[in-house]
Amino acid sequence: MTGYNSNGEVATSNGNGHSNGHSNGHKTADYTAQENATYPYEVIQEIADFITKGSGMRPKIGIICGSGLGSLAEIIQDPKIFEYEKIPNFPVSTVEGHAGKLVIGTLEGATVMAMQGRFHFYEGYPLAKCSMPVRVMKLCGVEYLFATNAAGGINPRYAVGDIMLMHDHVNMLGFAGNSPLQGPNDPRFGPRFPALVNSYNKELINKAIEIGKTMGIESNVHVGVYSCLGGPNYETIAELKALRMMGVDAVGMSTVHEVITARHCDMKVFAFSLITNKCATEYSDKKDEEANHEEVMAVAKNRQKACCELVARLVREIHSNAAS
């Protein structure tokens, strides 16, 4: 199996079918590729071919499942499942609630592919590697990216279990000089300087609002601004106050770099946050106001039905409009 080394040259993997740098069953991020974050087009094409040939399918919609939202992939019918470890040059998932499987099949008549497990900066992966699967999706034929995440609610009107449809983001990692598009630009993916003002597809947001109404959850559906911090620590009160002043409604540790990568290669983007915890913006000694991943996972599990229904119905809309 071919891979690439730190000089960007094509290299041969270790012969065990993957080159992810883990051997003892304990999943750790691949640090060897850090200095070589940008995957050459040919490597991404090779991964995409592995998936489309292995599944016999060309998906039109790609779904990234947020923490605890892996069930979004379980509603896919007649699935063909690829474990990340068996996909050449694919990273491994190291976070609880991210199973590490790519699921391709049919949802509401549309061919979709879903990532049960995404990659985060705090796992030790550079941003280009975190969002490399979005380019794989593109070369598999995906036109629409659905990115989902678990997030802390900063907007005081948000309750735990609410859904925030993302209409914009504040890229804090970008403020700090980090981007998934850093390094040489390959124009086969997109331009050197992509515009991001209309990143979140308005038509899909409006459709999702309508779907929320028909599901009877309109009071739990909001439209807001997400921000991604590097993590893995949750935020301090001062940071949360600062984010709120900047107009941020929900905060997490993902999604933004995926959206940037998707928009760079001209995919239509729909994204939502499941609010898994309320972020305190005042000082308090109360332990129950501290965010923790167990709570995040538990809330995601509780709300998976609503999230699955929203996704399935939006996929149905896209598919039936394309067919008509």
Ligand X SMILES: O=P(O)(O)O[C@H]1O[C@H](CO)[C@@H](O)[C@H]1O
Ligand Y SMILES: Nc1nc2[nH]cnc2c(=O)[nH]1
Residues in touch with ligand X (CB under 6 A): 66-67, 95, 118, 120, 149-150, 231, 252-254, 293, 296
Annotated catalytic residue within 122, 210, 215, 297: 122
Does 264 qualify as catalytic in the annotation? Answer: no
Q: Does the annotation place 235 within a ligand binding site?
A: yes
Cα separation, 39 vs 34, whole angstroms: 11
Closer residue to ligand X, CB minimum distance, 60 or 120: 120
Annotated catalytic residue within 199, 277, 280, 312: 277
Per rule CB under 6 A, is residue 229 in the interface with ligand Y? yes
Does 98 qualify as catalytic in the annotation? Answer: yes
Residues 11-30 that bind ligand Y (CB under 6 A): none
Q: Which residues pair with 149 in a beta bridge?
A: 273
Does 179 qualify as catalytic in the annotation? Answer: no
Per rule CB under 6 A, is residue 291 in the interface with ligand Y? yes
Annotated catalytic residue within 73, 93, 98, 128: 98
Q: Which residues pair with 62 in a beta bridge?
A: 113, 145
Closer residue to ligand X, CB minimum distance, 120 or 263: 120
Closer residue to ligand Y, CB minimum distance, 18 or 120: 120
* Chosen residue from 151, 256, 267, 318 binding ligand Y by CB under 6 A: 151
In the complex, the smallest distance separating the C-beta of residue 294 from ligand X, rounded to whole angstroms, is 9
In the complex, the smallest distance separating the C-beta of residue 196 from ligand Y, rounded to whole angstroms, is 21
Q: What is the DSSP annotation of 134-188? A: HHHHHHHT--EEEEEEEEEE-STT--TT-EEEEEEEEEHHHHTT--TT-SS--TT
Does 294 qualify as catalytic in the annotation? Answer: no
118 binds, among ligand X, ligand Y, none (CB under 5 to 8 A by kind): ligand X
Does 271 qualify as catalytic in the annotation? Answer: no
Cα separation, 100 vs 85, whole angstroms: 8
Counting Cα atoms < 13 Å in the Cβ hemisphere of 67 gives: 24
Beta carbons of 172 and 254 less than 8 angstroms apart: no
Cα separation, 81 vs 117, whole angstroms: 13
Closer residue to ligand X, CB minimum distance, 118 or 222: 118
Does 122 qualify as catalytic in the annotation? Answer: yes
Annotated catalytic residue within 4, 110, 120, 262: 120
120 binds, among ligand X, ligand Y, none (CB under 5 to 8 A by kind): ligand X
**Extended strands (E) in the chain:** 2-4, 10-12, 61-64, 77-83, 101-107, 110-116, 144-153, 163-171, 221-228, 250-252, 268-278
- Which class for 56: exposed (0-12), middle (13-18), buried (19 or more C-beta within 10 A)? exposed
What sign has the CA pseudo-torsion 196, 198, 203, 209? positive
Per rule CB under 6 A, is residue 299 in the interface with ligand Y? no
In the complex, the smallest distance separating the C-beta of residue 256 from ligand X, rounded to whole angstroms, is 10
Q: Does the annotation place 254 within a ligand binding site?
A: yes
Q: Does the annotation place 244 within a ligand binding site?
A: no
What sign has the CA pseudo-torsion 142, 144, 146, 147? positive
Annotated catalytic residue within 46, 108, 123, 317: 123
- Bond into 79 cis (ω within 30): no
Report phi then psi at 166, rounded to 5.
-80, 125
In the complex, the smallest distance separating the C-beta of residue 219 from ligand Y, rounded to whole angstroms, is 21
Catalytic residues: 67, 98, 120, 122-123, 150, 253-254, 277, 293
Q: Which parts of this chain interact with ligand Y (CB under 6 A)?
A: 150-152, 229, 231, 234-235, 251-253, 276-277, 279, 291, 296
